[in-house]
Structure 1
Amino acid sequence: MTLSSLIAHTPPERDVRREPHYYPDHISEMLEYGLPLFESLLRYSNLDSITKLQLLDTFKAAIMLHDMGKLDEDNQTVFSGRSKGKLPVDHIDAGIAIANEMLNELLAWVIRGHHAPGLPSKSEERNFRRKIIQNTNAPRDRNYLLRGRRHHRDGESQSREYFEAHLKAIELTESRLSLYKQRQISSCGEYPNLKFELPEESITTRLLLSCLVEADHTSSANYHDNVEMKRFNLPPRRWQERLNRLNDYVSALDETPYAQKTVRNQIRHDFYSECKERALTNDSMYMCSAPVGLGKTTSVTAFLLRKAIQRDASRLFIIAPFTNIITQTVTTLKKAVLLDGEESEKIIAECHHKVEFSNKELRQYSTNWQAPIVVTTAVQFFETLASAQPTSLRKLNALVGAVIFIDESHACLPPRFLKIAWSWLKAFSNQWGCQIVFSSGSMVEYWNDSFFVGELKQKIPDILTGAIDSRVGEIEKNRVEFKRLEQAISRSDLVEKIIQSLDDSSTKLKQSVLIIVNTVQSAAYLAYYLAEKFNQKNATPVKERTVLHLSTGLAPINRDNILQEILRRQKDSEWDSQAWFLVATSCVEAGVDIDFAVGYRERCSISSFLQTAGRINRHGRRASGTLYDFSFIHDEEMLKHPSFDDSSIIFDELWEGLVNKNKSYTELTTTALRKEFSRSNESQAIAESIYQDEVKNNFQEVDKGFKVISANTATVVVENSVVEALEKGYLADWRLVQKHSVQLWFNKINKLELKQIRGCEQDGIYSWINDYEYDDFLGIYAGLINPRRIFKQLGGVI
């Protein structure tokens, strides 16, 4: 076998006659793509020049050595087709052996992390070294960190045979290492040889792995698709042109019929002007505590575009907690910053599970955060930062040098994850050239509170200046009046109160009522009984409904339709002179540009109440709006949400300050969250434990522990045609499942005895429609409320 015929990848099954992907070509392609990629990251970095050179050499060595075990003669025999089956020698260990010889800990970690299950945990690796010596005849003077077969140290048998198998793999590598080195150097040239410790800042390790995976997968994919290897280039950013376009867009808004010459609109105009004209400072982190209706999205975007111009930023990221905010933001961005002749999908990547793409290449482009403007969920953003998995980390390198807008920052993470997330954001800001703005109408300044972030506490400036803030404060005092129903109220009495509230309202302009409750079931029942008062049937067309209902009890396709109808009614429509009602859960309380005359919010938390207040008399077009706080007399229909016990108590404690408005909303929401967090010893313990795992480079523990959303749910399909297609095995588009399904907790699935769809047992997908009714008004509760009422009317006991 000649050195030039060493193989890295065999041809795809659809084209078996093609030449294999030769090892020297694969390494060369990765170097040609990967080195410019990593150099672009280093240009944004604030690390010292010596460290930058060491990181670049370590990265080059990782590219050259990550697959070195494939050079084993037994593996090449399989690659060349002279024998069949899996590769007999696990190719992961050879490169790590070389890294350990160099005493380059970072190199070893990145090579090991490039293969499943990803970046390992340092504590587990230290235990492994001790146990392999205890359980085998392994020499004590060797470095066994990361060595052996690919593994998941804490998820496998710890028997003597287990450790002997690892030792056997290590000894095989040692016996053949000189041949591997000879083949590596002769076919690909010398690799850098340097000592380097694992960085204290774990983000650096993740970034090296991210770049390695990006270069490797790009080379492999291009070979697989039989296309020429592309070179790395940052996307076309054109920040100055986008800022000019945004200025034109905002100026045009001022001339629309809806841009009434009110005090609030003048302040909105002045706030935007400040963001686009004020002198830029050297700070890299900011907050924006502007209340609702001040045009935060456009103003903060203008500020960050100026920062992007100043620093030649790599990308603009906009992070939001909910998909409906993301969709709304992307719609605005397409109008405001997209330039003539540009394809929106290539410029603005909308990253969440419901988005659709016109082709596979654009999906990959979006998924890997390659576009100049990326709009994604807080869950995807922060879980990527926490990840140890190579596939998830592939896109992380796109963050370096970016300007980042974290919208509705109060709702992005639970308190237990604030400290570790803040440490990541500080690292990207201080070391990797990022500029970050946190924005919320109910801001929580957790970064300036040692109770949340300990020794990482830091004060950051507000881009809302004192002059604008004082003017806003004056008009905010009168925009919404806060009231409360002192006694817990029954569902039937609340229905009567809701209808009566419009008669009591001081305005006749667009009479509408927003009611937000704490559980999906409560929303469905309340919508059902309220609709009964207006003789509204479930089959009433959406545009004719007096009562709208919006919650995750509806499938995404129906939620989108309802949201579009709500937005339609915000403009001139037949509903301007008719009363209408929206019953919803918290999915509409943050970031959505909707406006109601009167609001009701089931007692939950200070931040939720303030966010709901942002939907009441949002633009100040009425003399005043009213928002009521209330609590239910809970029963089997109007369920109590157990997660809000503490926050409701704290809400009561802070009510006077909320009503009297003698404290800023930022102070109130920060105080409330601190009180909530202090009540949970478990959350505090989790916060410190996961942060210490991060400090100790225990990557696997951080990956497993940092889950923003519990995975204890399953997909339940509510559309009969989709269920039939899945059962028959011919569903071509997985997005149809997403559009026509809901997520239910397993305890509810078991209680309702839902059945898995035939053929989907492995994926855990259930059918709703086989056993229960579903409609686009009540969603899954169409199958639960009506039979229950009929049963009661017939004298049954539930």
Structure 2
Amino acid sequence: MTYLAHTENMAGLPHILSEHLQSVGDMARRFAEESNPDLSDAAYWAGVLHDLGKYRDEFQQYLRAERDSSTETHHAVYGAALAYRQEWLGPAFAIAGHHAGLHDHNELQTLVEGATYRTAERVPLLAERFQDDLGEIPQKIAEPLFVENKSHSAEFYIRMLFSTLVDADFLDTEAHYKTASRATRKLQAAELLRLLITEKESKSSDGKLNAIRNNIFQQCLDKAQESPGFFSLTVPTGGGKTLAGMAFALAHAAQPQHQLRRIIVVIPFLSIIEQNAAQYRRILDPEDLGIVIEHHSAVNVPEDTGETRSRDPFEKHPNEYAAENWDAPIIVTTSVQFIESLFANRTSRCRKLHNIAHSVVIFDEVQTLPSHLLNPLLNVFRELRDHYGVSFVFSTATQPAFQYRPSSLSEGFRPGEIQEITQGSTEANFRSLRRVSIQPAKPDETTGWDALAEQMALREQALCIVNIRSHAYDLWEKLRRSFPLKEREAMFHLSSAMCAEHRFAVLGDDREPEPGTIRYRLRNKQPCRLVSTQLIEAGVDVDFPIVWRALGPLDSIVQAAGRCNRENRLCDEAGNPAFGEVIVFRPEDNKLPSGVYRTASDITASLLAHVDADTLATDHELFGRYFDQLYQLVPTDQRISIQDEREKLHFRKVAGLAKVIDNDTQAVIVPYGKGCSIIEEIRTRPVIKGQPRFSRDDLRRLQRYMVNLHSRDFQKLVMHKATSQLLPNLEIHVLAEGWYHPHLGIVIDKRPTEDFFA
């Protein structure tokens, strides 16, 4: 009998089970060899045994549509049971979870030893059929020695093994149904570095500021010769760390002995990642060949608790096959995507993990790493460094240092464990690059939105950064009422309620901005008043003469100052260089995000009352002390310890605990710009038998037209019938026309009093 793995593809050919198993085994072994060769044997056997249960007659009858799906047609448990009985713990976890996600240890034991599947009775026949097709199953396989007696190393090894299996299984299944394998691009680090250096050399080198930037860039190139490990890049805002950090990464990867495969740039989840991605793409991928990709919107795949699958795997969860696996040379992603993937248990999130191995990971604005996950994160970073060849660059103007403290940061860095790239010149850089004067809020003084709007209206160019979206809306409303209709075109709003393409259109290109955009107005000395949430603080290159910043965490205030007099072009009436103004204020309605943000803001208020505010612009070591104090006051692991649950191999529990933000989010595609035509094209394209209607390429195109909403806000839209599914059976939603404002993005509760289109 010929056993099948999947139904016929578009060419009318069935997927032969033995061929699928061999292909997945070979591919998983190759992925493992590229990650850590010590995993290769386990990855191979996880691959060839993952569908052992498909040798059951009941499953073959199901594929031929002779019976319905039931527990009798489940298949993952049988290969897992064989591996578990032979004490192949890694393959057992990986095989058992290759549809339903990684199980907790006790659940795995119940699954493979319980009465439901009668594995002890059924596995011998399945093993016999397998061996007739593919040869002998060994009694022992090689699993990594470095996991012995190291529970956290063992836990992360299982995750890596799971990733190699899941990605190989998805890719081989996809290749069968599409009748072609995916094309992938290799990192050509030396070639890309030449492009980056050419870009750098094309810019002016005149003046003190450019001299400092060039020196930092060169220090990054020089330090790249060092062995992979932990590096910090502590550079004042405006010091050019975006390109300098990439220069280090490419030069580091270009060293043949390092064998680095890709570069992953991780940017805070509330930031505007499209600016950096656009800049990298313009320089390194001008023809948009897929060398640089963005990945920043989470698409929720309905979670399987069991393994009931449709005969055609594209029918049940087609977005699993569109999930991003980071097989590109340069990835620009968010903290949420990167961090939660490290602790996830679901297939769609985990399949990218093995592609993190032998990468350079740049954490931009590293001070925004979530404090409640710091100890688990730093532990995983060490695993990636020590066993999977990953180099980390922690880049910021406000370096948290993450120093070891037994009572708070037990996984913190020990002396000498992290290397500063600009060692020897950091202090001088901060003194030389000072461009602002910071005016702290007076302890008992508050500012109302009316008063602040009046002050901003007196300035031709002004920026105000607030702590929450509702404050941005309130101030924007007050400010626009201060001007007649014809002058309101000079007023702007930025928040995460706007999709990436919308924010980019409002800001303008960093090199040649379109007339009317923020950057165009700033550079051409035209009126420009902007109200924004904190997202503008994470590396967005804008240059205002004055910035108001609502009292918040110390690092946020300093990051806000980086949007003021950024290019050091301000002069006084006599033509002499002058500082920009940064005014810290306390809103009358001083609502703050709860938890760490509020604690950090309280520490900042106390610190500003006792420290010369100008110190913020010149003393970079102040931030190490500030964060040290903060981490002693806030949790650095969850109340139910993630580290403890990792030791117990409780993968589902860990996934539930390791959330960057407490609220679940839902991505919604918005009808903005070209997004409308992409939506229409996907919905109207012809259905081709054996082909998915939605692919990873579609998801990549839609990234820039997605907004992540808190689940409560998404439910409000559902209640108002303001969303619809992009395609039937696809859990990706499209916002209805009339719910997306041309200035504010998605508006649900507060709507402008005027000019909101119906």
CA distance, structure 2, for counterparts of residue 725 and residue 395 of structure 1:
26
Q: Which residue number corresponds to residue 496 of structure 1? A: 454
1:704 aligns with 2:704: no
- Inter-partner Cα distance in structure 2 for 1:226 and 1:662: 59
Structure 2: which amino acid aligns with 1:119? L
Partner residue in 2 for 1:59: 43
Q: Please give the residue correspondences for 1:125-204 in structure 2 after superposition, counting only pairs within 5 Å.
A: 125=108, 144=109, 146-147=111-112, 166-170=114-118, 173-194=119-140, 200=151, 201=153, 202-204=155-157
Instruction: Give per-residue Cα distances to partners, 1:512-548, cap 9 Å, x unaligned.
Output: 21101112122122122222222236xx7xxx72321
User: 2:587 is paired with a residue of what secondary structure?
Assistant: coil
Counterparts of residues 435-450 of structure 1 (less than 5 Å): 435-450=391-406
**Counterpart position of 1:386:** 343
Larger gyration radius, structure 1 or structure 2: 1
Q: Please state if 1:347 is matched with 2:291.
A: yes
SS across alignment from 1:31 = helix
Task: Give the SS at the match of 1:374.
Answer: strand
Give the match for residue 313 of structure 2.
none
- SS across alignment from 1:657: coil
Aligned ranges 1:200-211 → 2 under 5 Å: 200=151, 201=153, 202-211=155-164
Matched, 1:755 2:738: no
Q: CA RMSD in A?
A: 4.0
Q: Distance in 1 between matches of 2:704 and 2:217?
A: 37
Instruction: Please give the alpha-carbon distance, in whole angstroms, between the structure 2 residues aligned to 1:553 and 1:40.
Output: 39
How far apart are the structure 1 equivalents of 2:194 and 2:319?
Answer: 27
Shift of the alpha carbon at 1:744?
A: 5.2
Give the residue type in structure 2 aligned to 1:517: V
Q: In the alignment, which of 406, 413, 418 is matched to residue 374 of structure 2?
A: 418
User: What residue number does 2:565 align with?
Assistant: 617
1:649 deviates by: 1.7
Deviation per residue, 1:724-776 (Å, 9 max, x gap): 9999x967799899877765556667899951248669969697867x89442
Alpha-carbon distance in 2 for matches of 1:243, 1:616: 30
1:131 matched residue in structure 2: none
Contact 1:757–1:765 (8 Å) recurs in 2: no
Q: Residue 23 of structure 1 aligns with which residue?
A: 17
Cα distance in 2 between the residues matched to 1:362 and 1:717? 14
Distance 2:666 2:170 in 1: 31
| Higher relative helix content | 1
The answer on whether the counterparts of 1:419 and 1:453 sit within 8 Å (CA) in structure 2 is: yes
Within 5 A, what are the aligned runs for 1:138-537?
144=109, 146-147=111-112, 166-170=114-118, 173-194=119-140, 200=151, 201=153, 202-227=155-180, 235-254=185-204, 261-278=206-223, 280-282=225-227, 284-310=229-255, 311-322=258-269, 325-338=272-285, 343-353=287-297, 367-411=324-368, 413-459=369-415, 460-486=417-443, 487-500=445-458, 502=459, 512-536=461-485
- Which runs of 5 or more structure 1 residues have no equivalent in the other structure? 44-51, 126-143, 149-165, 356-360, 503-510, 790-798
Partner of residue 141, structure 1? none
Q: Give the superposition deviation at 1:664.
A: 6.6
The 3-state SS of whatever aligns with 1:515 is strand
Q: Which amino acid aligns with 1:445?
A: A
- Measure how far apart 1:178 and its partner are: 2.5
Spell out, residue by residue over 1:142-192, the C-alpha distance to the aligned partner (whole angstroms, 9 max, x if none). Answer: xx55415xxxxxxxxxxxxxxxxx41422xx32233322221111111123
- Please tell me whether the aligned partners of residues 170 and 321 of structure 2 are also in contact (alpha carbons under 8 angstroms): no
CA distance in 1, matches of 2:717, 2:542: 35
CA, structure 1 residues 759+531, in 2 after alignment: closer, same or farther (shift >3 Å)? Answer: closer
TM-superposed CA distance for 1:29, in Å, is 1.8
Q: Does 1:92 align with 2:71?
A: no
User: Number of paired residues?
Assistant: 697
Q: Relative to structure 1, is the Cα distance of residues 253 and 739 closer, same or farther in structure 2, using a 3 angstrom cutoff?
A: closer
- Which whole-Å CA distance do the structure 2 matches of 1:216 and 1:522 have between them? 48
1:628 Cα offset (Å): 0.7
Alpha-carbon separation, structure 2, partners of 1:414 and 1:304: 24
* Residue 629 in structure 1 maps to residue 612 in structure 2: no
What residue in structure 1 maps to residue 529 of structure 2?
581
Is the Cα–Cα contact under 8 Å of residues 345 and 651 in structure 2 kept in the other structure? yes
Amino acid at match of 1:702: V
Q: What is the rounded CA distance, in whole Å, between the counterparts of 1:89 and 1:752 in structure 2? A: 38
Question: 1:686 is matched with which residue?
Answer: 638
CA contact (8 A) 2:272 2:540 kept: yes
* Corresponding residue number in structure 2 for 1:132: none
| 1:115 paired residue number | 99
- Write the letter of the residue equivalent to 1:224: Y
Query: Which amino acid letter does the alignment assign opposite residue 529 of structure 2?
Result: F
What is the SS of the residue equivalent to 1:192? Answer: coil
Deviations, residues 388-432 of structure 1 (Å, cap 9, x unaligned): 112321111111111221111112x32101111111111111111
Kindly tell me: are residues 447 and 372 of structure 1, through their superposed partners in 2, closer, same or farther at Cα, counting changes over 3 Å?
farther
Partners of 1:305 and 1:208 lie apart in 2 by: 27
CA contact (8 A) 1:515 1:584 kept: yes
Check conservation: 2:436, 2:617, Cα contact below 8 A.
no
The aligned amino acid for 1:525 is: D
CA distance in 2, matches of 1:571, 1:766: 30
Under a length normalisation based on structure 1, what TM-score does the superposition of the two structures give?
Answer: 0.78
CA distance in 2, matches of 1:662, 1:592: 20
State the alpha-carbon separation in 1 of the partners of residues 412 and 380 from structure 2: 11
Corresponding residue of 2:307: none
Question: Which residue number corresponds to residue 302 of structure 2?
Answer: none
TM-score in terms of structure 2 length: 0.82
Aligned residues of 2:434 and 2:617 also touching (Cα < 8 A): no
Alignment CA distance shift 1:784-1:407 (3 Å): same
2:397 and 2:34 map into 1 onto residues whose CA distance is 36
Once residues 718 and 5 of structure 2 are traced to their aligned partners in structure 1, the CA distance between those partners, rounded to angstroms, is 50
Question: In structure 2, the residue corresponding to 1:756 is in which secondary structure?
Answer: coil
Question: Are the aligned partners of 2:437 and 2:581 in contact in 1 as well (CA < 8 Å)?
Answer: yes
